[in-house]
Every structure is written in structure tokens, then in C-alpha cells.
Amino acid sequence: CEWQEGQPSKQRLLVVANRLPVSAVRKGEDSWQLEISVGGLVSALLGVKEFDARWIGWAGVNVPDSVGQKALTKALAEKRCIPVFLDEEIVHQYYNGYCNNILWPLFHYLGLPQEDRLATTRSFQSQFDAYKKANQMFADVVNEHYEDGDVVWCHDYHLMFLPKCLKEHNSKMKVGWFLHTPFPSSEIHRTLPSLDQKLLRSVLAADLVGFHTYDYARHFVSACTRILGLEGTPEGVEDQGKLTRVAAFPIGIDSDRFIRALELPQVQEHMKELKERFAGRKVMLGVDRLDMIKGIPQKILAFEKFLEENLNWRDKVVLLQIAVPTRTDVPEYQKLTSQVHEIVGRINGRFGTLTAVPIHHLDRSLDFHALCALYAVTDVSSCYILRDGMNLVSYEFVACQASKKGVLILSEFAGAAQSLGAGAILVNPWNITEVAASIGYALNMPADEREKRHHHNFMHVTTHTSQEWAATFVSELNDTIVEAQLRTRQ
Ligand code: ADQ
């Protein structure tokens, strides 16, 4: 975990996110095993080494006893991580309930099924209360560890109340908030009954509010003007003389880490095995958390349509879908897993031969080296997500394709479409006819076109890195504070 290599001479940064970059597994009364977590936020922030950083968050486990809490706190301290202990009821109401059942689908424009909508409306208030309570618990831990001059960087939709809690305790604290998901149009935001105002106002307590794209930032400002009646300015949102800066900070990846990894003997070995295993076939790849927003069923159905219409490709192409399970105790996610298994089974039954099946689907995460090797041997990366804040998988694929120059098929509803759109084939993931045609186009694309498209994206991915993203956000936050101080003095 490179996170532990903090640099004491640099500015102190407290990163606050719902989950720590590691998950804890209990091995005894006072012993813990820590495993790196999978997810975009972790991938992006692990590469950030310009700060003397500490990470505050939940370790993903209920630890009711003080012996266990003490031992876990000690184990995490070695990784520069500080735990927030949440009990089962809070996790149920705040994390599974308000965050994952309400905010997540809402921010990704996915409505809830009618029966859930009714149940949710009834349980709304208690989930919202738990959300506020959990945010206050995060604030208490930040306050305990905060030192004058620290920058506090709050992340994501789980912690929209945090800026307010922190500023109420210490108005001089430098607080930034960044959203990793899309911020939907204000019309969607208004369907959060009666509580929308509270959430927006809490976020506005931050000094700087950041989004992946200009569109999301614009939606946020228009929600503040339409719902709160505040004034939007070119810099952000103004409320009674206080300006909250709002801007786009597109995230990137630690591209060097991927490029360097490709030279490692174990990665080369993996690549050799994969090439032998899939010799004579083009490789298409999907790497996603198993989540509704990733559109895995739609992706597989589009592949089926492609095979239907192009039987000559039947044993010449393979789709490798690596889907790491998340939120496994939420029924919607369990249903999604069964649905994907069923579709994969049907298509393999329909198009498989005695020696080969068209889809390899794995319900698990891959380690970093295996992932790099897989990206490197892929011919076509299928990132046709239904909706995604950015989508780092598309960046990681591009970083690993320096020699192969494979094709990226990317959803127009991913934030990455704005940065990698010129090099990728953009598709509407809901339109499987269009996606199926794009698969054919990608598989047959001539080398010079592939090279041109790849070059565009590679330049972007290697210059707009996660390090640059974090440095820009923090420096903008520092500048915002200085400007605010100057304004108050005038
Ligand atoms: P995620 O929804 O997690 O992130 P994404 O940006 O694609 O989505 O990042 C996923 C990360 O997890 C990647 O680094 C990928 O390598 C890793 N990963 C996914 N599946 C894996 C598997 N099976 N095995 C191993 N590793 C796997 C959220 C938002 C995104 C936003 C990021 C960063 O939803 O829109 O881009 O945060 O802001």
C-alpha cells in the first residue's frame, strides 16, 4: 500500500472518505488482516504522494469491542489510516440505506423500482437522520486529528453533510469536497423530498466544491440557484456574501505505475499465458464493479447481438468480463449477479463450441499485475457504462496499450467521454444495435486509425494524472482561502 509513504516535509492533508483504502478482516481478538480495497477512489488516491497525507474512513467492518477497536486502530496507523467506527444499525441506515439505496441510484439517473420507492419514502427520515449522524461521527474523528494549517478533503456523496459539521466546529478549517459520481440535473435532485435543501447547504459550507466535469459543476450551481434561490457566479455560488468556489477537476490515474508494471517479469509472464490461451482470437475486455450503473447485462446483450449478426466471428473473439462483487448484502445487487450469470450461461450455450465459449465471466477482483497484463493483451475495451462519474478503467486500459494500440469503446454517459471521446468510439449503451455495430467496427479497425486514436488518448492519460488532479485541487483550495481572506480585509 503506497499510501503509507507519506512525506512529513509536505503539506498535511486529511483525506476523508466513507471507506478506507483497506478492508479489515478480524483474525483474533486483537489481530487484524488488512487488504487493499477495489474501487475508483482508492485507485486514484493511492497514487497521490505530494502530501503528508492521512486517510480517515470506515474499515468496512463492525467492531463493537474496545479491544478490537484499539488493535485495529494500531494496525491501521501503520498504513496512515484512521478508522471511524460505525455500528451495524448506522451502517444499515446510512450506508446501505441513504447512500446506496437513495443517493447512488439518484445521482446516476437510475430510478428505484416502485415497491422500493414506497418503502424508501416511508423510511426516508430515519435513513436521513442516520446519514447526518454518521457524517457527524466522521467530523468528530477529523476534529480529533486536525492540526492548524491542515487541508481537509472530503470525498463523495456519502459525506455531503461533513463540510457543514466541520465548519460549525472550526470556521477556519480549510475544507474541500469532491464528488466522484455525476451530479444530476436539478430536476432529479428535487425528487429528494424536502431534504435537498439541507444537503446542498451543507456542501456549500465547504470552501471549494469539485466535480469531474464542467457539466456536473453546472448542474450543481443550477440546483443551488433553483432550489435554494442563491446566486450563481462564474466562480461558484454566493450566499450572503460568502462565495463557495465550484469547479471541474477531472480525475486521472497514476499512469506511470501501469506503464512500469508492464516491464515486470511476472506481468510479462501473465501476458504470455494469456496470449497463448487466446491465440487466434481477438480479446474484448470488461472490468467493472458489479453495479447497475456499469451496464454489464446490456454489455453482454450487445455482444450477443454482434455474434448473432456476425456468425463468422463466433470462435474468433472472446469477451472477458471481470466483475468484482460489491454491496453483496443489498438485494438489488444479488439480483444483478444472478441476472448476469443467467445471460452469460444462455449466450455461451448458444454460441459456444466444444473447444471455446464466447464469454468468460469472473465474479472477482484481479490483482494489479494480472489486471495490467489483461489490459495489455486486450484488442477492444468495452466501457459502455450506463452512467459513470469518470470511469478509470478506460484510462487504465489506454495506459497499458502503448504497444498494442487497441480500441476503446466508451459510453457517452461516462465522464471520461469528455476527455477520451476523440480517441474512443463513443456509444449509447442503451442502444445495443449501435453498440453491436461499434464492436464490429472496432474489431475490423485498420492499424493506422487505431494508432491515431490511441495516441490521442495516451497523451491525455499520461499528462492528466491522479497526482496532477490532487495537486490542482489542493492548490486551488489554498488559493481560494487566501482570496477569501483578502476579500474580508477589503
Ligand atoms: P468506480 O465506480 O469504482 O469509481 P472506476 O472509475 O472505473 O469505477 O474505478 C474502478 C477501479 O477499480 C479501477 O481502478 C479498476 O482497476 C478497479 N477494478 C474494478 N473492477 C476490478 C476487478 N474486477 N479487479 C480488480 N480491479 C478492479 C468511482 C466512480 C467513477 C470514478 C471513480 C474515481 O463511480 O465514476 O471514475 O470513482 O473518481
Q: What is the predicted pLDDT for the residue at 191?
A: 78
Is residue 368 over pLDDT 80?
Answer: yes
Q: Which of 23, 38, 419 to mutate to test the pocket of ligand 1 (most atoms within 8 A of CB)?
A: 38
Q: What is the predicted pLDDT for the residue at 4?
A: 47
The atom of ligand 1 lying closest to the CA of 251 is 38
Answer yes or no: is the C-beta of 43 below 6 A from any ligand 1 atom. Answer: yes
Q: Which residues of 32-42 are buried (b: 16+ CB within 10 A; e: fewer)?
A: bebebbbbbbb
Quote the DSSP letter at residue 37. Answer: P
Q: What is the predicted pLDDT for the residue at 102?
A: 86
Assess contact for 347 and 318: CB atoms under 8 A. Answer: no
CA distance 68 to 308: 56
Q: What is the predicted pLDDT for the residue at 101?
A: 84
Which of 8-12, 103-107, 461-465 is predicted least confidently? 8-12
> What tens digit of pLDDT does each residue of 184-210 get?
998 888 777 556 688 999 999 999 999
Using the mean position of ligand 1's atoms as its centre, give its distance from the Cα of residue 39 in Å.
Answer: 4
CA distance 77 to 305: 51
Quote the DSSP letter at residue 295. Answer: -
Is residue 1 over pLDDT 50?
Answer: no
pTM of structure = 0.94
Q: Which of 285, 299, 393 to mutate to test the pocket of ligand 1 (most atoms within 8 A of CB)?
A: 393
Choose between 241 and 268: higher pLDDT. Answer: 268
Q: What is the predicted pLDDT for the residue at 115?
A: 57
C-alpha cell of residue 75: 494496525
Measured by CA distance, the residue closest to atom 37 of ligand 1 is 40
Q: How many CA atoms lie within 13 A of 250 on its CB side?
A: 21
Answer yes or no: is the C-beta of 41 below 6 A from any ligand 1 atom. Answer: yes
The atom of ligand 1 lying closest to the CA of 364 is 23
Using the mean position of ligand 1's atoms as its centre, give its distance from the Cα of residue 159 in Å.
Answer: 19
DSSP 132-146: HHHHHHHHHHHHHH-
Provide the ipTM: 0.97
Average pLDDT over residues 447-454: 98
Answer yes or no: is the C-beta of 394 below 6 A from any ligand 1 atom. Answer: no
Choose between 261 and 114: higher pLDDT. Answer: 261
Average pLDDT over residues 246-268: 96
Q: What is the predicted pLDDT for the residue at 97?
A: 87
Q: What is the predicted pLDDT for the residue at 489?
A: 72
Cβ atoms < 10 Å from Cβ of 121: 11
C-alpha cell of residue 210: 469539485
Is residue 458 over pLDDT 90?
Answer: yes
